[in-house]
Structures are given as structure tokens and as C-alpha cells.
Chains A and B, each alone.
Chain A
Amino acid sequence: MRRFRSAAIAGGCLILSMAGFACGSDRAERVVGPPPQAAKTNIVGNDSIRATRAGSPERAIMTWAQAVQFGDGAAVRSAYSAKVRRAVTGARIAAAVEQVGALLGQPEIVNTLRRGKRAFVRVALISYDGAGQSTQQPVTLDLRKEGARWLLDDAELLLETAAALQRSRG
């Protein structure tokens, strides 16, 4: 009987699934958020970027921070709005990236305030030292939407930090 054959196939699939479920090793618990060791690093990983919504101001900030940390001056420059790119030369941004890159903390988004095509994102830049102790630098980043992309509309954080580091190194 055809209908019993269908039921028999479904039964076979059921037994296979139940056996597979009972023997499966994919039970490894997913850790909510980054794993403890990853949380103790300053590096902005791809997971941190993916954790933000695509096309959002938060995603733009995480992508920018990773580019700064990895010394990718061109990517950093392209993360800024046309106004900033006009006002600050590529060479100056590249120099600042070189100074700041290794010291920029891991951004943690605190709050986002949107006003039309502008967004103000409060961020805590968290830096860990070798002993795992953290320091936080709270900043508010100003972003502007140009086309479909959110871009940083103020290079002050990068340039001021670079200048401060330059001063501290004499």
C-alpha cells in the first residue's frame, strides 16, 4: 500500500533523526557573547563586527575601529564622510592611524541617538592591559549617512589621540 510506504519512509526518517539527536555531539554550548579570552583582548574581531546590524552606525564604528587597529589607512579614510575627507589629507590620517592603531581600545556601544541622517553613538573604548585589567574611555562619535552608508563625520578622536600620543612621546 502506497500510503503505508510513505508512512514507513517518514518512520525511518524519524528513527534516523532521533538516533542522530541522541548521539549528536553538536551539543557544545554556544557561549553568549564573545568567549572570556576574546573579551580580554583589544582587537576588534570579525565576530564583534558581525554582532552589529549591517548598515547601522554601530557597524560603521566597529569596521572603522578594526581598520585603525590593523593600520589600514585607506579603509580608515573611506570610513569618514566627504566633509572630513576634504578637510583632512590622506597622509595625515595615515600618520594618525600609525600612532593610534596599537592602542585603540575595543569599542563597546552604549547608546545610539539618531536624528534623520545623523547619528550620535556613545561608545566606551575598553582597553585591557597584560594583567587583564581594563580602562575605559567614554566618547561620543558623530556619524552622517551618505547614500546607504553611515560614515564618521568627525576625525577629532583619531587626530587628537594621535597628537596626545605624539606629545607624550616627546
Chain B
Amino acid sequence: MSERAAAWHARDLDAQQWLLIGSGVLTAAGLGLAGQAAALLFTAAQTAVLGGLLMHALRGRTGWRSAEFVVVASWFLLFTVPCWLYALDPALLDQGSSARATLIVNIALYGYALGLLPWRSSGPPVEGRLAVVPVQPRTRVLTAWWMLGFAALAALLLRHGNPLEYLSHLDRSAALNLGAFYLVALALTMRFSVLAWAAARWSSGERLEPLAVALVIAGTILIGLTGGRLFVAIAIADFLLLYVLVRRPIPLKRLLPYAVAAGLLIVFGIGTLKRYQGYNATHPESQVGIVEYVTDRAPGELASAYANNYVDTIRLVAIADRLVPRQAAWEGERVLLEMAVKPLPRSIRPEIDRQPVLARELSPSDDYVYAVPLVATSFLAGGLLVVMLVSGALGVFVRSLDRWLVSDALSAQRAVVFVVAAVSVPSLLRAGLPGGVVVLVGDVVGMWVVARTGLQRPADA
């Protein structure tokens, strides 16, 4: 490391420590207050820690091209933005206390930082692309995986009769996909096959051929038809991270405007469409047009829609805090049992009993279950100690992913699996246990199987 780089490094470290100290001061000040003032200070403290972690990510070996950066960016969207919305307008939150919910999230963030920060950075920054061992695609095998994914998606859409019926009720996509876990998982092989293809071409310094590009675009659009915005966002993030790691680095500053635009389109564009369909379903007598809904109604609902519907993480943490341990007991190992049986088909899966008060609040109807974030599921399991331990373990996992990504003699096959794992961490944060873990494990295993069968080293070709 040059002298100048070392000086910057030291300055960044100091700034990072000052941000952490500032966060502690804000927390201490917030503890002396109550209500909105406390919520504002705790949220400011969270923002300061996140700023420190962002600095830590950016001065890592691969800079913003890392799992650490993915976690910081997703944490900001999943937790910090809703915290600010609730702190600025307390009337938005109809459950529990936003100050307490924010404090629980802050404890999770400190726990995550504790799992992440003590690790030593093992080598100089990687300025260019990662030096991965190139592989060749088995075009037929990858095309077959893509076709399998397409068939699974078709089966998913036809499950409810007319596919148009499915597409016109995207507001109920989660309910429509219920009990179709394996079909959804198989549909994702469309994404894995083209990711593997891209990893092969880019690791060899080649461009992606037109057929593969067409399959990438078609696959992403088709997966978007399931109504799962997260699937679309994850697919785009997978390709982007893989591209900047193994093909060509892109400066963050140049990419940021496009990423923000795409994020807004995915969150609010598709979100507004889903809310519009939901509105007309619940107000059959009014039947407003999409243009009227978008121009008239949607703008006034943005903050509420974001914090209470699209990203209701803080609301769910507040519900968890309200319920346990006062109205319900800690859930303990129940979540592990649920995770163990989750992969079984719904028809033969044993029902894991839940305390009625929790079942009522977290599963409002038979076909609708909230995606309870990792912080909330950890809190429900055993309170703050579990939140801290789980978040710390997440920090260790994320740090390990980044170390594996820059390990020597990394094959393109492994690189693409690590990229998929890094991009799935936000799903874990969002959907908690067992949902998020199932998504992460499903993604990693699916990607590994497709990469293993669809890629080969040049010597084997």
C-alpha cells in the first residue's frame, strides 16, 4: 500500500470511529428522552453506524463490489428509511413504539458490526477484475436448465387457470404462490443458468453472446411476472455484482444514478401497480383508472406505502416488541423446528403450533403471512441476546463471503455461487427465519447445482 493510500486508510478509520462514537452519544441522548425525540435520535444513531460500516465496506479489498456493501445498502433501504419515516411522522406507525423498534434494530446493527469489524483485511485492494480461473459453458445443459425454469413458471401461472387471472392479481402474488415453493424454486433456474453462462464468458474475458443476453432479459422479465419485486431486484443485482467483479469494474459514482432509478421503478413502479390492483379489488364500485390512481392517489400514499406495506420491517419489529414477552412467551426453538420442516411439501408438512396471539398478529389470514424480518424473528425467539448473537453471526458470515471472493485460485463456478450468496443476504434480512434462510439456501444450492453441471474447465471441454 502506498504512503498516500495508507494515509487515506488511517483517515477513513478515524472517521469511522468518530461516526461510531457519535452514534453512542446520540443513543445516550435518546435514552434520556421519549417518544418522537427519542426515535429521531436513535434513527440518527443508526444512520451514523451505517455510515461507519459504509466506510468500512468501501475500503475493503473489493470496495463497493462486496457483500459488505450489499448489506449496508440493503440495510439502509430495509430499516433506516422506514425508521426515518416513522421518526418524522409518528402517526404512520399504528403499532407499538417506533423508538423502541429503532433501538432493537440498532442493537442488531451493533451486533452485526461486532461480528464484522475485528477481522483483519488480508491483502491489497483489488483494483481491476477478480482473477478467477476461467470456465467454459455447456450451452445445451444451461439451455435445458433455462427451459426447465420456464416450464416451472408456466406451471405456476397456469395453476390458477387462466394466466391473465394471475397477472391481473399481482397484489395477491404472495397468496397465489403459497404452496408452490418448488415451482418458484425451479422457475429460478432460469436465472441461475444465465448467471452461470455469464460467469463463464466474463471469466474468459469474452462478451456474452446474443442468445444468452436474450435469455437474461427474457428470464428476468418472466420472473417479474410472479409479482415478486425482490426476485427482479435480486436478478439485476446478481448480474451487476458478477459483472463488476469478473468482467469490468464500474465506479460507484457512475452507477449510482442508474441503480437509484431502477430501484425506484422496482419498488414504487411495480408496487403502485400492485396497490392499484388491490384498491380496485377492495373498492369494486369505484374502479378508478391506472392513470388517475398514479396521479391522484399514489403520491399521497408513498410514505405510508413504503413503511407500512413495501418495507414493513420496523412495523413488524414494533409488533414483536409489543407482543413478547408481555402477551406471549418467547418462541425459543420453535423457529428452528419450522425451518427444519419448511422444505417439505405443504401437503405432508407437519404443522408447528404457534401461540394464538402471535399467529393472529403475524398471519392475518390463511393465505397471507407477513415476511417477518430477521431482527424481529430473532427478537421473538429470545429477545435482545438472540438479536445480538444472530446479527453477530451474520457479520461473520458476510465477512467470510468477502474473504472467499478474493481467495487465490477461485474458480468462476465458485465465484458465481458466492455472488449469489452475497446478493441473497438482503432476503435473509427481509424475510428472517425460516423464509429468508430458505431463500438463501435455495439460491446457493440451486446456483451451485447449475454451475456444477453447466460449466466445465477448459481442460475438461
* Residue in B closest to A29 when the chains form the complex, CB atoms: B322
Determine if B230 is an interface residue (Cβ-Cβ < 8 Å): no
Determine if B437 is an interface residue (Cβ-Cβ < 8 Å): no
Contact A50 B117 (CB under 8 A): no
Determine if B113 is an interface residue (Cβ-Cβ < 8 Å): yes
Complex interface residues of chain A between 21 and 77 (CB less than 8 A to chain B): 21-30, 32, 47, 50-51, 53-56
Q: If the complex has contacts A10-B49, A11-B114, A50-B91, are A21 and B107 also in contact, measured as CB distance less than 8 A?
A: yes
The 8 Å CB contact of B286, one of A22, A32, A113, is A113
Q: If the complex has contacts A21-B384, A26-B100, A50-B91, are A14 and B296 also in contact, measured as CB distance less than 8 A?
A: no
Bound-state Cα–Cα, A17 to B10, Å? 28
Contact B91 A51 (CB under 8 A): yes
Contact A9 B104 (CB under 8 A): no
Contact B28 A25 (CB under 8 A): no
Find chain A residues with CB under 8 A from B49 CB. Answer: 10, 13
Find chain A residues with CB under 8 A from B23 CB. Answer: 13
Find chain B residues with CB under 8 A from A17 CB. Answer: 27, 103, 106-107, 110
Q: If the complex has contacts A13-B27, A21-B384, A51-B91, are A114 and B103 also in contact, measured as CB distance less than 8 A?
A: no
Contact B27 A16 (CB under 8 A): yes
Smallest CB separation, B113 vs chain A (Å): 4
Contact B27 A20 (CB under 8 A): yes
Contact A10 B110 (CB under 8 A): yes
Determine if B369 is an interface residue (Cβ-Cβ < 8 Å): no
Q: If the complex has contacts A9-B21, A13-B20, A53-B300, are A18 and B384 also in contact, measured as CB distance less than 8 A?
A: yes
Bound-state Cα–Cα, A32 to B93, Å? 9
Find chain B residues with CB under 8 A from A26 CB. Answer: 34-35, 38, 97, 99-100
Bound-state Cα–Cα, A7 to B396, Å? 13
Determine if B435 is an interface residue (Cβ-Cβ < 8 Å): no
Contact A4 B118 (CB under 8 A): yes
Q: If the complex has contacts A10-B114, A26-B34, are A114 and B107 also in contact, measured as CB distance less than 8 A?
A: no
Find chain A residues with CB under 8 A from B224 CB. Answer: none
Interface of B is mostly: helix
Find chain B residues with CB under 8 A from A13 CB. Answer: 20, 23-24, 27, 45, 49, 106, 110
* Residue in B closest to A12 when the chains form the complex, CB atoms: B24
Bound-state Cα–Cα, A63 to B384, Å? 43
How many Cβ-Cβ contacts under 8 Å join chain A to chain B? 114
Bound-state Cα–Cα, A114 to B100, Å? 38
- Chain A interface bracket (under 10, 10 to 19, 20 to 34, 35 or more): 35 or more
Bound-state Cα–Cα, A4 to B300, Å? 46
Q: If the complex has contacts A13-B20, A13-B110, are A6 and B103 also in contact, measured as CB distance less than 8 A?
A: no
* Residue in A closest to B30 when the chains form the complex, CB atoms: A20
Smallest CB separation, A51 vs chain B (Å): 7
Determine if B96 is an interface residue (Cβ-Cβ < 8 Å): yes
Determine if A3 is an interface residue (Cβ-Cβ < 8 Å): yes
Find chain A residues with CB under 8 A from B114 CB. Answer: 7, 10-11, 14
Complex interface residues of chain B between 11 and 38 (CB less than 8 A to chain A): 13, 16-17, 20-21, 23-24, 27-28, 30-31, 34-35, 38
Find chain A residues with CB under 8 A from B127 CB. Answer: none
Find chain A residues with CB under 8 A from B438 CB. Answer: none
Contact B13 A6 (CB under 8 A): yes
Find chain B residues with CB under 8 A from A54 CB. Answer: 300
Smallest CB separation, B363 vs chain A (Å): 19
B residues whose Cβ falls under 8 Å from a Cβ of A = 10, 13, 16-17, 20-21, 23-24, 27-28, 30-31, 34-35, 38, 45, 49, 52, 56, 91, 93-97, 99-100, 103-104, 106-107, 110-111, 113-114, 117-120, 283, 285-286, 288, 292, 296-297, 300-301, 304, 322, 384, 388
Query: 28 interchain pairs (CB within 8 A)?
Result: A3-B118, A4-B118, A6-B13, A7-B113, A9-B17, A9-B20, A9-B21, A10-B117, A13-B27, A13-B49, A13-B106, A14-B107, A18-B388, A21-B104, A22-B384, A26-B99, A27-B97, A30-B93, A30-B94, A30-B97, A51-B91, A54-B300, A55-B300, A112-B286, A113-B283, A113-B286, A114-B288, A114-B296
List 14 extra interface pairs beyond A6-B20, A32-B95, CB under 8 A: A2-B10, A6-B52, A10-B113, A13-B110, A16-B24, A17-B110, A21-B107, A21-B384, A24-B100, A25-B34, A26-B38, A50-B91, A113-B286, A114-B297
